[in-house]
Amino acid sequence: MEIEFTDFLVIGSGVAGLRAAIEMAPFGEVTIVTKDIPTESSTEYAQGGIAVALSDEDEVGIHYEDTLRAGDGLCNEEAVKILVEEGPLRIMELIEWGAQFDREGSKLAFTQEAAHSKKRVLHAHGDSTGKELERVLLNKVRTFKTVKKYPHAFTLDLIVEDNECTGAYILKLKEQRVIAIHAKAVILATGGAGQVYERTTNPLVATGDGMAIALRAGAILRDMEFVQFHPTALYLKDAPNFLLSEAMRGEGAILRNINGEAFMKNYTSAAELAPRDIVSRAIISEMVKTGASHVYLDLRHLGSEFIKKRFPRIYSTCLGYGIDITKDLIPVSPAAHYIMGGVKTDLNGRTNIRGLYAAGEVACTGVHGANRLASNSLLEGLVYGARTGLTAMERINVEVRAGVKREFRFNSMETETLRAIRAELKSLMWQKVGVIRCGKSLEEAMNKLKEWKEFTEWDYLTREESELKNMLTVAELITLSGLQRKGSVGAHYRTDFKERGTDWQRHVEIFKKEKIEVKFEK
């Protein structure tokens, strides 16, 4: 097996991975591996914006309180404090690097989104904030000669000996060849796992790879039951689940059922501006009530000129599918959007394995608690990406070494079988482990996942097979964690345990020894 050496290995090229790389690049060689092209990540698709207390009317303390409120009692308060206090510095840094956020005259323009009590969401080019961040961070990375990029490189597994991570096994997809890259420190920044669901706003790359490989390496994962469903994704037969930004409701869009009736005030006094989990459940309830597969989002009263200027990307995308959002009702329904859980880290990105760090959506710092506040994810990627990169440098004087070579057990799957299982898995998770769950549905999902267990016990030489292996693993983690939490908190809602339950303030941890084990954190 071919062996390579680097100082710092970053797995993933979204906001967290790039920001970590920028922190480390002046001090050593950084290798960024990504299974697609460097720009393909959830960052690229983030429309709404980035929340930060920088406007005249806002304060860091108010942002802190809003984040805790949305997290429904399960946020790590210290982690939230770090997020809101270091956030402004990270944004000003981006502006120095050339980020072009929208402005009103010479001042930055802020909008309000659901569950925010102030206008604090910055946006770029109307609804292309993530794309702008990706552009700026990639340009910054290019200024360092110490950074090497490996596109089309799938991370099969981490190299761990004596609870120390010394690198990763990387599959070069085009050559179908495995190499070992050894490093002083490895940072997981692989993003989320929305693709395990039939309806998701996440890009095709979001298959939970980092969570699955971390589990196999012996890392502890936490809060995997908390999956956030975005209330408003485009619902059309031949269209992708395109995200209809939270900012649309922030600007005054109204949700209507298929009879044209506004219904949100029947569920909560906050109406359209309630936290995402509440809005998603209200939409599902209304769909069941009316026997419909969707509801409508109505912007027509906001005016054509404003809509086109504020939401240019959404306007043009919907127009491509025959919907003029300035004149037509937009069919929407919830879709899996963000996972609050992930690889358990401390406030500096450290995991329970020496030399292994995690940042961004793949990690669980406790910032989001049981339900993420809208537009806090890009900020988390920036703040904790920087902190993790800085912390990883504690290993700058560690000697990079090649350990014992692993023997791989390669297998292959028939394309037809692979695609059938992937489609069935996504449907299973949507139906049984979705917006609304119960013990029976979770058990049914678990029984089906056991039938596919053998597919997680092999190694594969294609991206599609390796992704399915990881999706099956992450689906099991979400389902087992959901069974463990016999209560309803934040984004985890069980019809058989509608109250919070006695253990509601405890976090669910999941890890693998001989088998996968799940328990409440002590």
User: Which pLDDT score, from 0 to 100, does residue 243 have?
Assistant: 85
Average pLDDT, the chain: 94
- In this predicted structure, the answer to whether residue 114 has a pLDDT above a threshold of 80 is no
User: Which pLDDT score, from 0 to 100, does residue 493 have?
Assistant: 96
Name the 3-class secondary structure at 285: helix
Confidence of residue 2 (pLDDT cuts 50, 70, 90): very high
Q: Mean of the pLDDT values across residues 144-172? A: 96
Pair type for strands 8-11 and 30-33: parallel
Beta bridge partners of 233: 243, 333
User: Which pLDDT score, from 0 to 100, does residue 41 have?
Assistant: 61
Q: Mean of the pLDDT values across residues 169-189? A: 96
pLDDT in tens, 462-475: 999 999 999 999 99
- In this predicted structure, the answer to whether residue 481 has a pLDDT above a threshold of 70 is yes
Separation CA 195–CA 338 (nearest Å): 10
Separation CA 143–CA 140 (nearest Å): 5
Separation CA 522–CA 252 (nearest Å): 44
Separation CA 429–CA 229 (nearest Å): 13
Separation CA 418–CA 193 (nearest Å): 18
Q: Do residues 70 and 372 make contact, with C-beta atoms less than 8 angstroms apart?
A: yes
Separation CA 192–CA 342 (nearest Å): 8
User: Which pLDDT score, from 0 to 100, does residue 405 have?
Assistant: 81
Separation CA 327–CA 306 (nearest Å): 13
Tally the residues of the chain: 522
Largest CA distance in the chain: 67
Helix (H) or strand (E) holding 180: strand 177-182
For residue 242, which of 314, 299, 294, 316 has the smallest C-alpha distance? 314
Q: Mean of the pLDDT values across residues 319-331? A: 96
User: Which pLDDT score, from 0 to 100, does residue 42 have?
Assistant: 59
Q: Out of 105-109, 223-227, 415-419, 431-435, which region has the weakest mean confidence (pLDDT)? A: 105-109
Q: Mean of the pLDDT values across residues 260-275? A: 94
What does each C-alpha distance from 30 to 2, 8, 148, 230, 276 come to in angstroms? 19, 5, 6, 35, 37
What does each C-alpha distance from 229 to 243, 371, 407 come to in angstroms? 11, 10, 39
User: Which pLDDT score, from 0 to 100, does residue 186 have?
Assistant: 98
CATH architecture of 232-336: Alpha-Beta Complex (3.90)
Query: Looking at domain 2-153+340-395, does it have CATH number 3.50.50.60?
Result: yes
Separation CA 62–CA 84 (nearest Å): 9
Confidence of residue 246 (pLDDT cuts 50, 70, 90): confident
Backbone angles phi, psi at 152, to 5 degrees: 50, 45
pLDDT in tens, 44-97: 555 568 999 999 899 999 999 999 999 999 999 999 999 999 999 999 999 999
pLDDT in tens, 347-376: 999 999 999 999 999 999 999 999 999 889
- Which residues, 6 or more positions from 357, have their beta carbon under 8 angstroms from its beta carbon? 20, 185, 186, 187, 188, 345, 349, 350, 351, 388, 391, 392
User: Which pLDDT score, from 0 to 100, does residue 46 have?
Assistant: 54
pLDDT in tens, 270-319: 999 888 888 999 999 999 999 999 999 999 999 999 999 999 989 999 99
281 part of the active site: no
For residue 130, which of 391, 307, 361 has the smallest C-alpha distance? 361
Name the 3-class secondary structure at 352: coil
The full set of domain ranges for the chain reads 2-153+340-395, 232-336
Residue whose token pair is 């016999």: 486
Its pTM stands at 0.93
Separation CA 313–CA 103 (nearest Å): 18
User: Which pLDDT score, from 0 to 100, does residue 299 have?
Assistant: 96
From the candidates 120, 276, 310, 422, give the one annotated as an active-site residue: 276
> Burial level of 508, CB count in 10 A (0-12/13-18/19+)?
buried
